[in-house]
Structure 1
Amino acid sequence: MKWRWVLTFEYYAKIYIQIKRTELKPASLEKYENILEKVVLPEFGNRSIDEIKPLDVRLWFSKYNHRSPKTKRDYLIVLRGVFNEAFFDEKITRNPVDYIKLPKLHKSRVQPFSKDEVESILRNASGWRRNYYAIAFFTGMRSGEIIALRWSDVDFIRRTIYVQRTRRKGIETTPKTQSSVRIIPIFSDLLPFLEDQYKKTGNKNSYVFLNGDKPYRDTNTCIDRSWKNLLNRLKIPYRRLYNTRHTFATLLLNSDKFTKNQISMLLGHTNNQMLFQIYAGFIESEKDKIDLDFSILK
């Protein structure tokens, strides 16, 4: 009898995750592990990697038509990665995921807050939460970057904030991308809120926002519920805290006082492409500059 050594899908899934541990940030790694454990392995885990055909993948993928395009793309990214490990190991001659078309992403429309809404939120919030909202609105920092902010990152003399870390689920890492490590000016609107927060936690020589003597684990534990309650009380349509970042971007764009390069730098974008992709419809200054008397023929 001739024995055949079977290499299962699960075998290459373990290799894939082992490699990704050196490449991904903790949040992304956790997402990939959850997809493998809950979605992919129950279907393919015990099967021989070289016997899984494109049709098998297509039938499996059809079960998730009810999922969002972003979720389905994430499923395929993980699945493709596992099969790639087998391909690199020369155990399969093609990746069956290559025969699946990636779902198109439909980006939701950005919904920044108006100036009146920003003023109402800051006028009716209180304590350290008001200071948190002010930092969010007037710096465009991401939530994880705000709770990871330390007083050593804040320079009141030069009026700058150095963004160099983020925090999620109690794990502190560098920001989302290399360009996300940046310096943000402390605008006049923000200064009184930052000074007020310094009175609360500045003497601890630690994090700007503290839960007792420790930093917050993530925004879910410190701000999300109070944010929803505040918007509900003010009868302001609910938007995620992340929309404070969109608000910062659109206010700068429409002020006509900053170049697109400067705004991209303050947001931590790699280039202007993302700025135009996300905020093109809000760049009023660009629309106003269109000369209606211009003659194309001349």
Structure 2
Amino acid sequence: MDDYSSVWETDKRGILYAVFKLNGKVKWERIGEKRYLSRDAINAKKKEISERLARGEYITKKVSFETMAGEHLEYAEKNRTPRTKETMLGHLKKLVSYFKTFNLHQITPDNIEGYMDYRRNQNPDISDKMLINEIFTLSAMFKLAMKRGYVKENPVKRIELPKYIRPEMKFFSPQEIDLILNNCSPYMRGVILLGLTTGMRKSEICNLKWDNVNFDDGIITIACDDTFTTKSKRNRLAVIVPQLRDELLFLRDNYIDPLSKSITPRQDFQRRYVFCHYDGSHIKDFAQGFEKLMIKLGIKDASPHTMRHTFITYHSNYGDPFLTQKMAGHSNQRITQGYYHLQLDRMKESMKPIEKMINSGLPVRQSLDRGQVLTVCQLAEKN
């Protein structure tokens, strides 16, 4: 059965009108004299109006694509992370260059498929993943336009996107972890232990504050505040395993310069961020040093995010999948204080596989001797 329930009919002095709502207001459109109209003709007209409504052809406010792109970017400024905003800006520039002569309501699925063909001709090497991401940005823009009453339909929903198979993500083997921890610099060891044992993202490690490290409860709070927002925009908890605790206690009292790698007693102005420059400001990145280490060790296809994926892989395979989701920050639910107290013991218990992945049985560090390293190969073979 055809669906035109959003349009109804009314008879006024022998003239039949189609009646529908647009932006909260009732609109009338003349169909014709009732005595000359068959039921099929009336239904066909109602169906036509319903389809035009869906395509946004009745929208009285004509919004250009370029204007909507600006509104979408402005919305992103308040609701997206800096990295997401940067990526979105790149997508919007390409989209605007193609659709700049269009008003939003004029864009059809055929136009979008034309854009995809244009991008392939413009750049024959463009990957399906990149093209899909550009179309996802377009779809998000149309969703915002629908909320604001500019269009009634998202045309992206009616196109077939390229098939994209996500490549299997790499995670470090116990032997690779052993190799990394035995060959990394004193500075990188803290970063790597934090990434491997908590699953924190690179930006979360760079912005970690000492106020969010609770040695008494053995918990790190990965928190949003006025200077930093997590990708999920929600706080979450991470357990401090014994090996990481030793490292953090060392770093609490000692400062390792990210450039010179020199070790000096930590000054008061260096006590806000765990990893900071000499002046106390947080580091912005550590990818370059990490990737140089991977090249030196001959470990291919690894990035800082591989540490997070390693944590998720080990924890979900040998721990509690529900807690993995919570601790990795993939949940949509806010971690409340009640959850903190109820789940703390369970979270710590679930971290035992991570401890085994890292643990070597070395004594707790008692001095500035950075030569001691963690070993996992023998333990991994036993477990």
TM-score range relative to shorter protein: 0.7 to 0.9
Task: State the partner residue of 1:206.
Answer: 272
In structure 2, C-alpha distance between the alignment counterparts of 1:17 and 1:191, rounded to whole Å: 41
For 1:188 and 1:251, the matched residues in 2 are separated by: 17
SS at match of 1:209: coil
Secondary structure of the 2:243 match is coil
Structure 2 residue aligned with 1:188? 242
For residues 62 and 213 of structure 1, do their structure 2 counterparts lie closer, same or farther at Cα, with a shift above 3 Å needed?
same
Query: C-alpha deviations, 1:237-290, integer Å up to 9, x for none?
Result: 241111111222233345x4x32222222222228xxxxxxxxxxxxxxxxxxx
AA aligned to 2:168 is: R
Which one of the candidate residues 257, 272, 284 is aligned to 1:218?
A: 284
> Which deviations, in whole Å up to 9, do the C-alpha atoms of 1:89-137 show, x marking residues without a partner?
7666654433322333322212211112112211111222111111111
Percent identity (aligned): 24
The amino acid that maps onto 1:208 is: V
1:230-269 matched pairs, under 5 angstroms: 230-254=293-317, 256=318, 258-269=319-330
Query: Distance between the aligned counterparts of 1:192 and 1:89, measured in 2?
Result: 53
Q: TM-score, normalised by structure 1?
A: 0.74
Is 1:42 the counterpart of 2:97 in the alignment?
yes
- In the superposition, the TM-score normalised over structure 2's length comes to 0.59
Determine the structure 2 residue equivalent to 1:33. Answer: 89
Shift of 1:17: 2.7
CA RMSD of aligned residues (A): 2.9
Secondary structure at 1:211's aligned position in 2?
A: coil
Q: Distance in 1 between matches of 2:316 and 2:64?
A: 53
Task: Say which of 57, 69, 91 aligns to 1:13.
Answer: 69
Further displaced range: 113-122 or 233-242: 233-242
Relative to structure 1, the CA distance from residue 93 to residue 132 in structure 2 (aligned partners, 3 Å threshold; closer, same or farther) is closer
Question: Secondary structure at the residue paired with 1:242?
Answer: helix
Secondary structure of 1:31's aligned partner: helix
Please tell me whether residue 163 in structure 1 is matched to residue 222 in structure 2: yes
Larger Rg: 2
Equivalent position SS for 2:221: strand
Match of 1:22 in 2: 78
Matching of residue 122 in structure 1 with residue 177 in structure 2: no
Question: In the TM superposition, what whole-angstrom CA distance separates every residue of 1:186-241 from its partner, at most 9, and x where no partner exists?
Answer: 1112222222222224543210001122434532xxx2222222122222224111
1:20 maps to amino acid: A
Q: Following the alignment from structure 1 to structure 2, what is the Cα–Cα distance between the partners of residues 149 and 18?
A: 28
Aligned residues: 257
1:148 touches 1:165 (CA, 8 Å); kept in 2? Answer: no
Distance 1:101 1:218, change over 3 A: farther
Distance 2:160 2:201 in 1: 32
Provide the rounded CA distance (Å) in 2 between the counterparts of 1:235 and 1:14.
45
Q: What displacement does 1:67 show?
A: 2.8
1:21 CA displacement: 3.2
Task: Please state how far the C-alpha of 1:44 moved relative to its aligned partner.
Answer: 1.3
Structure 1 unmatched runs, 5+: 272-298
Q: In structure 1, what is the Cα distance between the partners aligned to 2:149 and 2:272? A: 52
SS of the equivalent of 1:192 reads helix
